[in-house]
């Protein structure tokens, strides 16, 4: 008997007993058995906290990001193996691509996100907050990794993506994970984790896997842990109400299946590009993963005068979908994940039929290629029609988690907003329209009940990732029925695994804590100009205070001629009435250029190039006769990755530029960046 193993406490172990049989979704044959019986969940969580967490916390964001990048490249070398296993779940090649390579894509995305963070184990958030009149007492917010473990309880529909999209975030944050995939498809998750473990890329304890029942794992979570759940709302709410979870106030992110909708705009008619886009999107969302997606379209709203045209056209489109063994290259829709899933879908469809009728498909049979309906978990795409959506509760409350959608009519734009919101909270909605005002009204009206809204038209359709594709850079989640949770979303997702902390103190103290220079903090001056120092030699707070320069009328006129910037405030004495200026004022960019002339050491040295400006403010007008000086201070440092062995080793240095006048008042403040050579 083939038994899946659990990867816990740094080793692979099988659970006790026979375990749960896991069957091939296409032919019903038993693939393996899964069991977590005999595992000590308390020890597993402690191993993550005591072994994996300290190792990850010591790493900087950039080191964690490079770790994710290495892991993504490693997994790409084993795609063929993952695809061969994925066919057993009923997934087609395209379905598997979304699951497997989509999951790896999340690793790459969060690896790249490291550049948005400072090169430290913690994250400095927002701007300094002045807390005193003279600037000697300030505040700042930082985020530090939690000292616990992320417990991910995932759904059966995406055994790879569901794991990788979550661990990419917690690992970048510096927190280890215990992953519990849905048992029915856990054999695919196990195959991926085997390669992750074999790579030795992650620190010990950073990732553990349990295949089978989660047992009482939530009875052992602590306040520093984070729980995520993807699946049905009823199961999620049951887990969320665990007494230990409530007692310890353990963060619980719930992402539940929802009754997502698509709206055909009232402006769209047959023959328009948007009409064909609408048909294609509905067909895709009904048939990809055989409709087993938390983001799949369950409700279709069309103008009442387009109702018959729409369902007839959708029926013809669905009729072109070839269904059967996903290993067959001709097949475009495979099976559900198992026979239990098919029974559940049929039961839910029967509830929907209390107020709707089937206009395409059959509950009892489906034409298949290279497959047996009696052995595999196949089901026909089912398009239902409901003529009274305001009077029917079922379409807005019952979900059949398969290739099932209900088409319904609406009278006007206000009606369709109300209907969309009757789903009581959804992950995503799409409106297909060529009228941006219709889209604007829909977003304002339905936004409170949705986590994401896609506006689809001919301009973006070719490049759109589609209704059902959550993206790592955007938040994924939704209110109400959808769970009220939120994951991914770039930096926003990383924060879920960190503690936000307000710190207060002197500018020098806050500078030391954050590794970021704050105004009024102590600086270090020496005879060696900072531009003469290599990246490793520069220290936060290294500064140069320049000599002075008096701005002349000739400077202003010459800069206007060189730059072609003849804005009236700089060159026209007669046009200043009613303005804040007393006389022609120097260009802000000239002041910044003049400042550079004062602080730059022009000799060839470690500074390779000007990398840009992060922020710049012109605070006080500078007139001819004003004398300016500059303080240039090392603000932050970040090592650059070398693209190849020939790339010059370097880092990016942020410099605070403070330009003052003869009254020692600020006239300009900027943060500039330079690329500086490293010694090694």
The single residue of 165, 190, 211, 255 carrying the catalytic annotation is 255
| Residue owning tokens 């003849």 | 566
Is residue 294 annotated as a catalytic residue, yes or no?
Answer: yes
CATH number given to 42-256: 3.40.605.10
The domain 508-677 belongs to what CATH superfamily? Hotdog Thioesterase (3.10.129.10)
| Residue owning tokens 């693939």 | 31
Beta-ladder partners of 261: 299, 429
* Residue 198 structure tokens: 């074999």
* Residue 202 structure tokens: 């992650």
Q: Which residues, in sequence order, are CB contacts of 652 under 8 Å at separation 6+? A: 611, 637, 638, 640, 673, 674, 675, 676
Is residue 255 annotated as a catalytic residue, yes or no?
Answer: yes
CB 195 within 8 A of CB 74: yes
State the burial class of residue 620 (Cβ atoms within 10 Å of its Cβ: 0-12, 13-18, 19+).
Answer: middle
Where are the domains positioned within the chain? 42-256, 260-470, 508-677
Tell me, yes or no, if the two domains 42-256 and 508-677 fold the same way. no
SS3 297: strand
pLDDT score recorded for residue 128:
92
pLDDT score recorded for residue 1:
58
- What CATH number does domain 260-470 carry, 3.40.30.10, 3.40.50.880, 3.40.50.2300, 3.40.309.10? 3.40.309.10
Beta-ladder partners of 653: 637, 674
**Other residues' Cβ atoms within 10 Å of the Cβ of residue 582:** 9
Cα 664 from Cα 659, distance rounded (Å) = 9
CB 590 within 8 A of CB 657: no
Pairing of strands 6-8, 11-13: antiparallel
CB 509 within 8 A of CB 128: no
Residue spans of alpha helices (H) in 499-587: 507-514, 553-563, 568-571
| Residue owning tokens 């063994």 | 325
The single residue of 165, 294, 486, 487 carrying the catalytic annotation is 294
At residue 238, φ and ψ (nearest 5 deg) are -65, -45
Residue ranges for the chain with pLDDT beneath 50: none
pLDDT score recorded for residue 221:
95
Cα 18 from Cα 227, distance rounded (Å) = 29
Beta-ladder partners of 615: 671
Characterise 10 by phi-psi region: left (phi > 0), alpha (psi -120 to 50), beta (else).
left
């Amino acid at each position: 008997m083939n038994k899946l193993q659990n990867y816990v406490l740094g080793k692979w172990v099988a659970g006790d007993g026979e375990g749960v049989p896991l069957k091939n979704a296409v032919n019903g044959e038993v693939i393996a058995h899964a069991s977590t019986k005999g595992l000590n969940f308390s020890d597993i969580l402690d191993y993550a906290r005591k072994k994996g967490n300290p190792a990850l916390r010591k790493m900087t964001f950039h080191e964690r990001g490079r770790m994710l990048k290495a892991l993504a490249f490693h997994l790409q070398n084993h795609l063929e193996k993952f695809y061969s296993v994925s066919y057993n779940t009923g997934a087609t090649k395209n379905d598997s691509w979304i699951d497997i390579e989509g999951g790896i894509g999340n690793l790459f995305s969060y690896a790249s996100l490291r550049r948005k963070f400072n090169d430290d184990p913690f994250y400095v958030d927002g701007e300094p907050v002045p807390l005193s009149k003279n600037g000697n007492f300030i505040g700042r917010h930082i985020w530090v990794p939690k000292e616990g473990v992320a417990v991910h309880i995932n759904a059966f529909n995406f055994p790879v993506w569901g794991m990788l999209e979550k661990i990419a975030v917690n690992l970048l944050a510096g927190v280890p994970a215990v992953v519990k995939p849905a048992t029915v498809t856990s054999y695919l998750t196990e195959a991926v984790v085997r390669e992750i473990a074999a790579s030795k890329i992650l620190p010990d304890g950073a990732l553990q896997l349990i295949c089978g029942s989660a047992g009482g794992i939530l009875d052992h979570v602590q306040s520093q842990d984070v729980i995520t759940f993807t699946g049905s709302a009823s199961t999620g709410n049951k887990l969320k109400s665990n007494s230990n979870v409530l007692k310890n106030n353990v963060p619980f992110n719930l992402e539940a299946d929802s009754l997502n909708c698509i709206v055909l705009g009232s402006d769209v008619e047959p023959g328009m590009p948007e009409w064909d886009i609408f048909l294609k999107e509905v067909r895709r969302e009904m048939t990809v993963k055989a409709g087993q997606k938390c983001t799949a379209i369950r409700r279709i709203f069309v103008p009442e005068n387009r109702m018959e045209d729409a369902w007839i056209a959708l029926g013809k489109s669905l009729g072109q979908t070839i269904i059967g063994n996903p290993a067959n290259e001709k097949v475009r829709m495979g099976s559900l994940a198992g026979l239990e899933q098919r029974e559940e879908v049929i039961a839910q469809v029967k509830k929907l039929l209390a107020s709707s009728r089937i206009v395409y498909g059959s509950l009892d049979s489906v034409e298949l290629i290279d497959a047996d309906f009696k052995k595999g978990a196949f089901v026909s795409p089912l398009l239902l029609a409901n003529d009274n959506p305001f009077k029917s509760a079922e379409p807005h409350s019952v979900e059949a988690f398969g290739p099932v959608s209900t088409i319904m009519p609406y009278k006007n734009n206000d009606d369709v907003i109300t209907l969309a919101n009757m789903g009581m909270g959804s992950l995503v909605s799409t409106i297909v329209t060529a009228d941006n005002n219709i889209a604007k009204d829909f977003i304002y009206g339905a936004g409170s009940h949705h986590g994401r809204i896609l506006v689809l038209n001919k301009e973006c359709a070719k490049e759109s990732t589609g209704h059902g594709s959550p993206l790592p850079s955007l938040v994924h989640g939704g209110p109400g029925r959808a769970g009220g949770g939120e994951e991914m979303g770039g930096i926003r997702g990383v924060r879920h695994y960190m503690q936000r902390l307000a710190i207060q103190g002197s500018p020098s103290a806050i500078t030391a804590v954050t590794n970021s220079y704050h105004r009024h903090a102590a600086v270090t001056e020496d005879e060696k100009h900072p531009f003469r120092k290599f990246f490793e030699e520069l220290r936060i707070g290294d500064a140069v205070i320049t000599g002075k320069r008096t701005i002349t009328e000739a400077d202003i006129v010459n800069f206007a001629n060189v730059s072609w910037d003849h804005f009236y405030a700089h060159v026209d004495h007669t046009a200043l009435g009613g303005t804040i200026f007393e006389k022609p004022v120097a260009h802000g960019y000239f002041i910044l250029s003049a400042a550079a002339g004062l602080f730059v050491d022009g000799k060839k040295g470690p500074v390779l190039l000007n990398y840009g400006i992060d922020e710049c403010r012109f605070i006080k007008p500078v007139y001819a006769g004003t004398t300016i000086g500059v303080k240039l201070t090392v603000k932050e440092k970040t090592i650059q990755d070398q693209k190849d062995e020939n790339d010059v080793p370097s880092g990016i240095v942020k410099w605070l530029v403070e330009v003052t006048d003869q009254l020692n008042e600020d006239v300009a403040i900027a943060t500039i960046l330079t690329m500086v050579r490293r010694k090694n």
